[in-house]
Structure 1
Amino acid sequence: MARPPHPGPTERELTLLKLLWEHGPSTVRQLHQLIHLRPRPAYTSVQSNLQGMLDKGYVHSRTDQHAHVYAATVTRDEVERRAVSDLIRRVFDGSALRLFTAALHDEQTTPAELERLQALLDESRDD
């Protein structure tokens, strides 16, 4: 049975997108050198991942002096929003409240993050 399509970038694709968002348009060689995964993926694996991302529309490429230069076509915000929307739908049965409740009970939430969340809630009440 065929595997259903992934709702967003895979872990490896997300790693490459983060590098492109941080460093801007890059060649396969540059991205391969920037990856800090262990074990480091083979150059050809990075190249294959980028081709798949090109097919999915996550990146575009242009040729620059015999090398393909890849750039992200999706923003960090778009990817985050899609991922959160998918998470709310699949895990929290469509309830954003349940997602926020789970997030607030996470011991990694800092006081500064809690203050920012409160400010966002206050802003949304004023609208």
Structure 2
Amino acid sequence: MSTGEYIKPTESELEILQILWEKGECTVRDVHEILEKSKDAGYTTTLKLMQIMHEKGLVSRDTSAKTHIYKASVNQEKTQQQLVNKMIDNVFNGSAARLVMQALGNHSASKDEIDSIKKYLDELEKK
């Protein structure tokens, strides 16, 4: 995957990427066991998804041992930023404010989250 190219991960691929971003390196078995806790996922389905993700350049694979080790090839922050930008453009007609208001209206933010948002907004105003 070249630097200018962006491949949008599917919902299932994002679930796997979240695991790899959190854990670092994992086998297919490791990923499958985590996925199984929250959804009915077959091992072969997880394996096939991770093979497709490797072909797409979303993950890299170390094949030097019998058990292949996978890790994310895409940056978490950059991927999140690209997905949010696309959502702002496509769903909120380019309005980041509408996205934020919708998110805060539909999700209970903790006191710490609200304080963090206020601090971020204060910093933006100072610029």
**What interval of TM-score do these two structures reach, taking the shorter chain for normalisation?**
0.7 to 0.9
Aligned partner of 1:109 in structure 2 is: 109
- Please list every run of 5 or more consecutive structure 1 residues that lacks an aligned counterpart in the other structure: 1-6
Give the TM-score of the pair, scaled to structure 2: 0.83
2:84 & 2:108 partners in 1: Cα distance?
A: 18
Gaps of 5+ in 2: 1-6
Alignment match, 1:12: 12
RMSD: 1.7
Q: Distance in 1 between matches of 2:103 and 2:32?
A: 34
Question: Shift of residue 104 of structure 1?
Answer: 2.9
Q: Distance in 1 between matches of 2:116 and 2:55?
A: 38
1:116 to 1:27, Cα distance in 2 relative to 1, 3 A: same
Superposition pairs for residues 43-54 of structure 1, below 5 Å?
43-54=43-54
**TM-score of the pair, normalised by structure 1:** 0.83
Rounded to whole Å, the distance in 2 between the matches of 1:104 and 1:18 is 22
Provide the C-alpha distance between the structure 2 equivalents of 1:93 and 1:45, rounded to a whole number of angstroms: 36
How far apart in 1 are the matches of 2:22 and 2:101? 31
Range moving further from structure 2, 114-123 or 96-105: 96-105
Identity over aligned pairs, percent: 34
Q: CA deviation at 1:45?
A: 0.7
Q: How many residues align?
A: 120
1:67 and 1:19 map into 2 onto residues whose CA distance is 18
Alignment partner of 2:74: what SS?
coil
Tell me, in whole angstroms, the C-alpha distance in 1 between the residues paired with 2:53 and 2:67: 17
Deviation at 1:11, TM superposition (A): 2.1
Q: Is the 8 A contact 1:103 1:109 kept in 2?
A: no
Shift of 1:107: 4.5
